[in-house]
């Protein structure tokens, strides 16, 4: 395939650095533009990151552009922070640019797909409702893993009720991160804004595309979010009930047989998006977060629950599957379907 020219909005944060690493040698995409803030525009990337950063020399020498300049790229990835991402992405989209964003401001807008390629690629039909360019949003990093693990269950049995408790890694806080004296020998029992995102976003993700819009799925969702002293890898304890009651064996079979993207041969797609482990000590971040290059969800400890149909624990690499590589996988799907041209 001819390489697609792509740009990156936001290069200095943790998410931006993951994008740089993943795009530097991507087989389908060529990074041709970097877009930064007033503080970074006009500088070379090496001046922002440091010349010893593990990137090709031509990228380190690339000049960072202002968002006001013409951007030589067909598709833009946005790693901008939430407080600036919304208006910046809207402005660029109005100028005709196509954007895949990891930021939260556009996620629940009616015309913006909230995309997980294995879960709801039919929602990309919403792009026909956007004028000028377009915006595709990646869900919250915890929601990505939760929705992936629940998708095959929902398809077979129809989700009605979900209760989630997350144990979220430090990298999810970005840079400069969590103060060391707050998290050492400690667990933080709340992450501002996260519980609302876990409650709202799956309803859109599992919604059906009808009459040129998304009809949200009426699922009762409760959430508790915590920050734990782990570098990478968000975990979640998930309990759920369905319209028809599944057996534990049918849940495991549904996870095992779930591979909706294999025929497309996308470079970042895992062969098996969900790996179930029967080991009572699985999943663990140190052991399983890099499964399938960080793109697979690991589930374990599946068991019956007194107040739900079943409970399990999942692990998802928040910075890769839930972050940069998840967004890049969405771009691969769009490019394969010729929606970036």
pLDDT digits (tens, 9 = 90+) for 143-183: 999 999 999 999 999 999 999 999 999 999 998 899 999 99
Is 340 labeled as catalytic in the residue annotation? no
222 and 165 within one domain: yes
Q: Is residue 177 helix, strand or coil? A: coil
Which tokens in the block code for residue 312?
């399990």
Instruction: Select which of 102, 141, 242, 340 is catalytic.
Output: 141
Q: Count other C-beta atoms under 10 Å from residue 212's C-beta.
A: 10
Strand-pairing partners, residue 4, are 29
78 and 11 within one domain: yes
Q: Is residue 136 helix, strand or coil? A: strand
pLDDT at residue 50, rounded to an integer: 81
238 and 258 within one domain: yes
Which tokens in the block code for residue 28?
């389908």
What's the mean pLDDT when you consider all of the chain? 96
23 and 52 within one domain: yes
| pLDDT reading at 29 higher than 70 | yes
275 and 128 within one domain: no
Q: How far apart are CA 100 and CA 77, in angstroms?
A: 5
In tens, the pLDDT along 43-80 reads: 999 999 986 678 999 999 999 999 999 999 999 999 99
| pLDDT reading at 9 higher than 70 | yes
* CATH assignment at residue 208: 3.30.360.10
Considering its fold, how many domains does the chain have in total? 2
124 and 24 within one domain: yes
112 and 125 within one domain: yes
Q: Is residue 12 part of a domain?
A: yes
Q: Is residue 341 part of a domain?
A: no
278 and 245 within one domain: yes
168 and 82 within one domain: no
**Average pLDDT for residues 93-99, to the nearest whole number?**
97
Q: How far apart are CA 222 and CA 198, in angstroms?
A: 8
169 and 79 within one domain: no
Strand 234-242 relative to strand 310-316, pairing: antiparallel
Q: Is residue 94 part of a domain?
A: yes
Q: Is residue 273 part of a domain?
A: yes
Which tokens in the block code for residue 215?
């009809």
* CATH assignment at residue 86: 3.40.50.720
| pLDDT reading at 98 higher than 70 | yes
Domain hosting 214: range is: 141-316
Tell me, what DSSP letter sits at residue 44?
Answer: B
303 and 262 within one domain: yes
217 and 113 within one domain: no
**Average pLDDT for residues 300-324, to the nearest whole number?**
97
Between 64 and 82, where is the model more confident? Answer: 64
Q: Is residue 180 part of a domain?
A: yes
Q: Is residue 182 part of a domain?
A: yes
Q: Is residue 98 part of a domain?
A: yes
Q: Count other C-beta atoms under 10 Å from residue 177's C-beta.
A: 13
- Burial call 88-109: b when 16+ CB within 10 Å, e when fewer: bbbebbeeebbbbbbbbbbbbb
Strand-pairing partners, residue 5, are 30
Q: How far apart are CA 29 and CA 22, in angstroms?
A: 10
pLDDT at residue 165, rounded to an integer: 98
In tens, the pLDDT along 266-291 reads: 999 999 999 999 999 999 999 999 99
pLDDT at residue 54, rounded to an integer: 86
Residue 82 confidence class, pLDDT cut points 50, 70, 90: confident
Q: How far apart are CA 55 and CA 68, in angstroms?
A: 26
Q: What separation in angstroms does the CA of 110 have from each of 86, 129, 200?
A: 15, 9, 13
**Average pLDDT for residues 205-220, to the nearest whole number?**
96
| pLDDT reading at 262 higher than 60 | yes
Is 46 labeled as catalytic in the residue annotation? no
pLDDT at residue 340, rounded to an integer: 57
Q: Is residue 103 part of a domain?
A: yes
Q: What is the pTM of this model?
A: 0.96
Instruction: Select which of 234, 275, 288, 317 is catalytic.
Output: 234
């Amino acid at each position: 395939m001819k390489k697609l020219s792509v740009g990156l909005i936001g290069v200095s944060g943790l998410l931006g650095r993951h994008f740089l690493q993943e795009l530097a040698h991507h087989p389908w995409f060529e990074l041709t533009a970097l877009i930064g803030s007033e503080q970074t525009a006009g500088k070379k990337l090496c001046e922002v990151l440091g010349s010893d950063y593990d990137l090709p020399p031509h990228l380190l020498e690339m000049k960072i552009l202002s968002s006001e300049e013409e951007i030589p790229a067909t598709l833009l990835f946005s790693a901008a922070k939430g407080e600036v991402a919304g208006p910046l992405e809207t402005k660029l989209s109005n100028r005709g640019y196509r954007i895949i964003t990891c930021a939260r401001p556009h996620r629940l807008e009616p015309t913006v797909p909230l995309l997980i390629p294995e879960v709801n690629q039919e929602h990309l039909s919403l792009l026909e409702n956007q004028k000028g360019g377009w915006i595709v949003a990646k869900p919250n990093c915890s929601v990505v893993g939760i929705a992936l693990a629940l998708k095959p269950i929902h398809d077979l049995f129809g989700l009605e009720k979900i209760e989630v408790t997350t144990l979220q890694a430090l990298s999810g806080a970005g840079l400069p991160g969590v103060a060391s004296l707050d998290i050492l020998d400690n667990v933080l029992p709340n992450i501002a804004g996260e519980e609302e995102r876990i409650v709202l976003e799956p309803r859109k993700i599992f919604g059906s595309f009808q009459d040129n819009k998304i009809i949200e799925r009426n699922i009762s969702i409760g959430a508790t979010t915590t920050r734990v002293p782990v570098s990478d890898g968000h975990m979640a304890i998930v309990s759920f009930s369905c319209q028809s009651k599944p057996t534990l064996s049918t849940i495991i079979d549904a996870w095992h047989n779930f591979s909706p993207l294999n025929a497309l041969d996308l470079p970042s797609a895992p062969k098996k998006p969900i790996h179930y482990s029967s080991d009572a000590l699985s999943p663990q971040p140190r052991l399983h977060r890099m499964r399938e290059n960080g793109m697979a969800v690991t589930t374990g400890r599946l068991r019956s629950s007194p107040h739900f149909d079943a409970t399990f624990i999942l692990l998802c690499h928040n910075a890769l599957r839930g972050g940069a590589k998840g967004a890049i996988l969405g771009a691969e799907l769009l490019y394969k379907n010729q929606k970036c041209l």
